[in-house]
Amino acid sequence: MDTPTPASPEVPPESTSTSPPWSTPTKIVVGVTLVALFVALLVAFRDFIGPLILALILAYLMHPIAAALERYTPLSWRAAVTVVYLLLAAAVIALLTIGGLALIQQTQGLYGVVQDFLLYDLPTWLQRLSTQTYHFGPWVLDLRQYDMNAFTQQLLAALQPLLGEVGALISTLAASTLQLFGWMAFIWLISYFLLSESGKVSSNVITIRIPGYQEDLRRMGRELARIWNAFLRGQLTVATIAMIWVWLWLSILGVRMALVLALLAGIARFVPYIGPAVLYTITALVAIFQPNPAWGLEPWELALLAVAGMFVSDSILDNFVMPRILGEALGVHPAAVLLTALIGAKLVGILGLLFAAPTLASLRLFGHYIIRKMFDQDPWADWHSAPPQPFPGTTWLRRRFEAWLNRRRAQAEHPGK
């Protein structure tokens, strides 16, 4: 009996499909139609884009926690995800119950301080300044020759629309509490189902398959994961440290509205240059116009101490903590991040402001890939990625925690030993 000869691996098997292939014009028409439908859906449901992005980010952040819980406990993956999200919901509800009303009240108070300064105190100060003459050695600066009233009117005309938008936003947050809770529940549910159905592999949250490009997609996915992982976990860690420090420091000094100023400090970490400058200015205004400063300080002394403590904190974070956490993971210049943040804030609001740095790094990656492919070059030949180093102490803590869990597990399995 003849032994059957195996088919050569170089010869592809004949297709048994009876479906005729599409012609090139058909593919172009279908592709353009799908793109048009996608853009139309984005425009029609643009209000859902931000919450969906936040849900995806939340699922990405909660994945390692759920994976650790599933690994070190008898819980299944779905049960571990459920426990994590229930604890998250309880923590959010507790925080909103404790500090939600205070945060809204302090935000309204801070808006009032800034508004009064810009609309009343600043014009009065400029008017008083315009009547003075200053002598600096042989030089004389006579401000009476300048029209400060015109400058003040132009400044107020430029700032009033911004103040109106901020005031409307604060009023909306204060009045639309139920709607805010609805969006939070929507983000929580979408994120929960994304994570519970994706499984233990984080790459399963979003899966794209294109024949012939699987290796490129895998490499692109690794690079994007490196960028966003470094930003989300690193930048959020730094922003949290900044918020805690600012809240503690301002509370010790007795500065009003420390909670909302701490929140602004966290947001300022996402906007290079302008963010810290605005934060320092607002903090100084709050301290200067605060009645009865604590510790027997003068208003200007309180403002100087408050801003100095925040400046020292930012310097430590920028020079020691950020390079250790992020390293060269993003590889973008702060000035470019600032420009991207301004454009993103104009296009998509607060999300464009917060996620400007990883978005710019992702666009840089896509641009590099497209340009190299257009010139028939290997897109990964000269692409060097340096993963961020672990923060000092975290590796040691993780190993100690794993050793403790292993000992507890061994004691539970063998109680007599």
Asked whether residue 409 is assigned to any structural domain, the reply reads no
Distance, in Å, from the CA atom of 80 to the CA atom of 64, rounded to the nearest integer, reads 11
Q: What is the pLDDT of residue 312?
A: 94
Average pLDDT over residues 326-353: 78
Are 86 and 71 within 8 A, CB to CB?
Answer: no
More confident call, 139 vs 327: 139
Is the confidence at residue 16, as pLDDT, over 80? Answer: no
Asked whether residue 72 is assigned to any structural domain, the reply reads yes
Same-domain status, 298 and 226: yes
- Structure-token pair, residue 368: 């590099």
- Structure-token pair, residue 218: 């895998």
Closest by alpha carbon to 195, among 21, 366, 55, 378? 55
- Tell me the per-residue pLDDT of 284-320, one tens digit each, with 9 for 90 and over: 988 888 888 888 888 889 999 999 999 999 999 888 8
CA distances from 157 to 114, 121, 161, 164, 324 (A): 15, 16, 7, 11, 44
Least confident residue range of 139-153, 317-331, 392-406: 392-406
**Where is the domain boundary, 190, 207, 224?**
207
Q: How many other CB atoms sit within 10 Å of the CB of residue 52?
A: 15
Same-domain status, 202 and 217: no
CA atoms within 13 A on the CB side of 188: 17
Q: What is the pLDDT of residue 243?
A: 93
Same-domain status, 242 and 177: no
Is the confidence at residue 13, as pLDDT, over 80? Answer: no
Is the confidence at residue 33, as pLDDT, over 60? Answer: yes
Mean pLDDT over each residue of the chain, to the nearest integer: 79
Distance, in Å, from the CA atom of 159 to the CA atom of 170, rounded to the nearest integer, reads 17
Same-domain status, 192 and 229: no
Distance, in Å, from the CA atom of 340 to the CA atom of 343, rounded to the nearest integer, reads 5
Same-domain status, 53 and 200: yes
Are 243 and 266 within 8 A, CB to CB?
Answer: yes
Question: Partners of 135 in the beta sheet?
Answer: 140
Same-domain status, 187 and 312: no
Same-domain status, 343 and 275: yes
Q: What is the pLDDT of residue 296?
A: 86
**Where is the domain boundary, 191, 207, 223?**
207
Asked whether residue 229 is assigned to any structural domain, the reply reads yes
Same-domain status, 334 and 219: yes
Asked whether residue 248 is assigned to any structural domain, the reply reads yes
Is the confidence at residue 10, as pLDDT, over 60? Answer: no
Same-domain status, 260 and 196: no
Same-domain status, 199 and 333: no
- Tell me the per-residue pLDDT of 228-271, one tens digit each, with 9 for 90 and over: 888 877 888 889 999 999 999 999 999 988 888 998 899 888 88
Range(s) of the domain holding residue 297:
213-379
Asked whether residue 16 is assigned to any structural domain, the reply reads no
Are 266 and 240 within 8 A, CB to CB?
Answer: yes
Same-domain status, 349 and 371: yes
315: exposed, middle or buried (C-beta count within 10 Å: 0-12, 13-18, 19+)? exposed
Q: What is the pLDDT of residue 295?
A: 86
Asked whether residue 9 is assigned to any structural domain, the reply reads no
Asked whether residue 412 is assigned to any structural domain, the reply reads no
- Tell me the per-residue pLDDT of 366-383, one tens digit each, with 9 for 90 and over: 998 899 888 888 888 877
E strands in 32-173:
133-136, 139-142
Count: domains in the chain: 2
Closest by alpha carbon to 183, among 327, 58, 281, 360? 58
Same-domain status, 231 and 369: yes
- Tell me the per-residue pLDDT of 104-127, one tens digit each, with 9 for 90 and over: 677 777 777 777 777 777 777 777
